[in-house]
Structure 1
Amino acid sequence: MAGTQIKVEAQGRTAISKALNNLLKQSGNLTPALADIGEYLLESTQQRFIDQQAPNGSPWAELSSTTVERKITEGERTDRILTESGTLASSIHYQLGHNQLELGSNEEYAAMQQFGGVTSPFSMMPNQDIPARPFLGIAPFERAEIIDILQHHLAKAL
């Protein structure tokens, strides 16, 4: 998957990993649980574009004056961040693998928006500093929901 992504894997000793390992031992198949987690994270990640905030709840960096000026010239809204056409938010998807879930975007510019950086000299806005505006990640309340999903699947497996 090009662009940027997050992976949820069963490793370490966190509560999520313990629940995943218990589910795997009981059922041998994490796919249904991971699919529910994928749907949940897809929806919550897309909500970040509405809320304009990172997984930790901090607001995204404001638009630069250059971007605001360009949007005004092109007759676009200046009050929304990362939502010019909605492509990035609608490009978020998840993939299931063998006991693995990946969530991300295949848009080339997704990584630049997630991590920040300097634009290419050949881009629409050459050599510009782009602040990080993280949209991928797992918030504390999402961890709790993931554990609830896993517990539900574990109870069904028992």
Structure 2
Amino acid sequence: MLRPLQRATPVITIDLDDVALNKETEAILASLDDLTPLLKALGSAAHGIWNEKFRREGPGWQPLADVTLAKRRKNGRGAEILKDDGKLFASLTDSASEGSVYELSSKALTIGTNLEYAAVHQFGSKDRKIPKRAFLPDASEVAPEFERVIKRYVERVSK
């Protein structure tokens, strides 16, 4: 259902062919010509999950270093993790923002960010002493919300 792609830009692909569904739900979805409304709803759910990860600063994100905090204060900026200029956050929560990746097909949606520095934050960098602060959700984080979205969509289209 959800798989991070191993490439330079942090993105996930929501692929309906990979979703474990019950037979009834599978049959209903298979009978539909256009699943893009469902994929768009799942994309909105993913944007909401990212929004919450940034709001909570993780979980598991290492706090900013004292030197980083001092530099930000000197420049009149805030202390929120991964929100220095807001571009990374915007690229993940608003598909119209600079750096946002939003590729929709009839069976899959790829979303994420192509900002140059995003991968460094997602995976960390020992060379630059930047800790890993994974902002892409893993499957266990999104499964309950995605299941709810799919269930609601199937109920709506099968009426």
User: Structures share a fold, TM > 0.5?
Assistant: yes
Find the aligned partners of 1:17 and 1:101 in 2 and give their Cα distance: 16
Find the aligned partners of 2:138 and 2:76 in 1 and give their Cα distance: 35
Q: Given the alignment of the two structures, is residue 17 of structure 1 paired with residue 23 of structure 2, yes or no?
A: no
Output one character per residue of 1:51-87: Cα deviation in whole Å (capped at 9) or x when no partner. Answer: 101xxxx231111233123223323223x10111111
Compute the TM-score of the two structures, normalised by the length of structure 1. 0.76
Find the aligned partners of 2:75 and 2:156 in 1 and give their Cα distance: 54
Which segments of 5 or more consecutive residues in structure 2 lack a partner in the other structure?
A: 1-6, 96-101
RMSD of the alignment, in Å? 2.4
- Specify which structure has the bigger relative contact order, considering alpha-carbon pairs within 8 angstroms and separated by 6 or more residues: 1
2:122 alignment partner in structure 1: 114
Shift of 1:104: 0.2
Find the aligned partners of 2:156 and 2:134 in 1 and give their Cα distance: 35
Greater Cα offset, 82-91 or 19-28: 19-28
Find the aligned partners of 1:11 and 1:154 in 2 and give their Cα distance: 16
Find the aligned partners of 2:39 and 2:138 in 1 and give their Cα distance: 14
Would the alpha carbon gap of residues 17 and 28 (structure 1) be closer, same or farther in structure 2, given more than 3 Å must change?
Answer: farther
Q: Given the alignment of the two structures, is residue 40 of structure 1 paired with residue 45 of structure 2, yes or no?
A: yes
Of residues 100, 113, 116 in structure 2, which corresponds to 1:105?
A: 113
Report if aligned partners of 2:49, 2:137 keep a CA contact under 8 Å in 1: no
2:90 alignment partner in structure 1: 90
Output one character per residue of 1:82-125: Cα deviation in whole Å (capped at 9) or x when no partner. Answer: 1111111101133312310112012111111111114xxxxxxx
Output one character per residue of 1:115-158: Cα deviation in whole Å (capped at 9) or x when no partner. Answer: 1114xxxxxxxx42211111111464631221121122223333
1:131 alignment partner in structure 2: 131
Matched position secondary structure for 1:18: coil
- Aligned residue type for 2:117: Y
Report if aligned partners of 1:23, 1:150 keep a CA contact under 8 Å in 2: no
Would the alpha carbon gap of residues 106 and 35 (structure 1) be closer, same or farther in structure 2, given more than 3 Å must change?
Answer: same
Matched position secondary structure for 1:91: helix
Compute the TM-score of the two structures, normalised by the length of structure 2. 0.76
